Structures are given as C-alpha cells and as structure tokens.
C-alpha cells in the first residue's frame, strides 16, 4: 500500500492541485498545479533521536503531547531543515529530555512506510544523570532493562530499538540495525 498525504492546494499559488503523471516522464502520480504547473513532491519525513545510556540504564521520556500522550519514548522528533541527522538527534535529546550527551554511532534506521517516515536512532552516552525536560515531556527517567514499561512504550520504532539494544548488550556488540515496518 502506497502512503499518500493528499495535498489539496498549490504551495506556490493556492490553486487546487490535481494528481497525475507529470509530462517529464516521471512514473509516479504527483500533485500538479493546473495554474502555475508546479509539481509537488511529497517525500517521507525524517524522525531523529537517541538511545541515551547511563551506566546500565536507558533514558526514556514520558510524552506531554499527542500522539500517545502519557506514553514513554526515546527522545526524538522531526528533523529540521539546515541540520544533519546527528545534529537533529542531539537537538531533540536536549529539547525533550534536557540531557547532555556524547553522540555515538547510528544504531537503528527504520522505514515506517505506512506513515511516510524514516526513523534514525543514535546510541548516546549520557554525561550526567540529571535532566531538564522541555514542554513536550512530562518526565524524563532512567530505566533498567527489567523496569522498562513495555506496555506503555509510545511507538513500535522505540520498542524495536530498545529490544535490539538489550539483545546487543548481551552479545557485547552494537551493529547498525535496519528495519522495515509495514
């Protein structure tokens, strides 16, 4: 199933768009303005975040926003224009948890086709166990593996990242994980 967020109006002139194949040989239907002829490309959104670790514990944030208000997640959010994936992950960790980190390697890359997103999580070393959560977070807290609130994890990408981490920690190596979530 192809994900589509139907665009209704041209971002350039405001005219109602029509979905059709462009005249340039493109093989995908695009939102095309019949007035100014601008072709609108709708592409996946990047979600960037971290898996912050302090000793044997993982930092999770309790969401103060929808979707999934009150559920636990890793610090993450939408990447902004003008930043790298790594910069966005570090920014989101600061904004959501108020956590100071040393960014490590890219750890999970997850294609979430159904919602048109790609999620990137980096492993991160916490530099302090003290946090100052932003307005999108009710609480930021460290959890040991046995205390993870698995039934209250907000997103499948977070659950998969945590699962990979605890399995990899047992093995003593942390390879990059690439997962397709349909």
Cβ–Cβ under 8 Å, residues 56 and 144: yes
Q: What is the reported pLDDT for 3?
A: 52
3-state secondary structure the chain: CCCCCCCCECCCCCCECEEECCCCCCCCCEEECCCCCCEECCCCEEEEEEEEEECCEEEEEEECCCCCCCCEECCEEECCCCCCHHHHHHHHHHHHHCCCEEEEEEEEEEEEHHHCEEEEEEEEEECCCCCCCCCCEEEEEEECHHHCCHHHECCHHHHHHHHHHHHHHHHCCCCCEEEEEC
Q: What is the reported pLDDT for 24?
A: 87
Q: What is the reported pLDDT for 45?
A: 95
Q: What is the reported pLDDT for 54?
A: 98
The pLDDT tens digits along the chain (182 residues) read: 455 557 899 999 999 999 999 988 899 999 999 999 999 998 899 999 999 999 999 999 999 999 999 999 999 999 999 999 999 999 999 999 999 999 999 999 999 999 999 999 999 999 999 999 999 999 999 999 999 999 999 999 999 999 999 999 999 999 999 999 98
Residue given tokens 């239907």 in the structure block: 29
> Which domains does the chain show, CATH number per domain?
1-42 (2.20.70.10), 45-181 (3.90.79.10)
């Amino acid at each position: 199933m192809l994900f589509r967020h139907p665009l209704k109006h041209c971002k350039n002139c405001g005219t109602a768009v029509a979905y059709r194949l462009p005249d340039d040989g493109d093989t995908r239907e695009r939102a095309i303005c019949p007035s100014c002829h601008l072709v609108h490309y709708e592409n996946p959104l990047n979600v960037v975040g971290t898996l912050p670790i302090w000793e044997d514990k993982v930092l999770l944030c309790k969401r103060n926003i929808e979707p999934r208000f009150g559920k636990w997640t890793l610090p993450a959010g939408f990447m902004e224009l003008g930043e790298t994936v790594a910069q966005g992950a570090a920014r989101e960790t600061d904004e959501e948890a108020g956590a100071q980190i040393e960014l490590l390697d890219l750890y999970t890359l997850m294609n979430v086709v159904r919602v048109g997103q790609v999620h990137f999580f980096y492993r991160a070393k916490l530099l302090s166990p003290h946090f100052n959560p932003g307005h999108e977070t009710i609480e930021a807290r460290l959890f040991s593996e046995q205390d993870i609130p698995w039934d209250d994890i907000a997103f499948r990408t977070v659950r998969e990242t945590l699962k990979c981490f605890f399995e990899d920690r047992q093995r003593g190596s942390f390879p990059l994980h690439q997962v397709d979530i349909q």
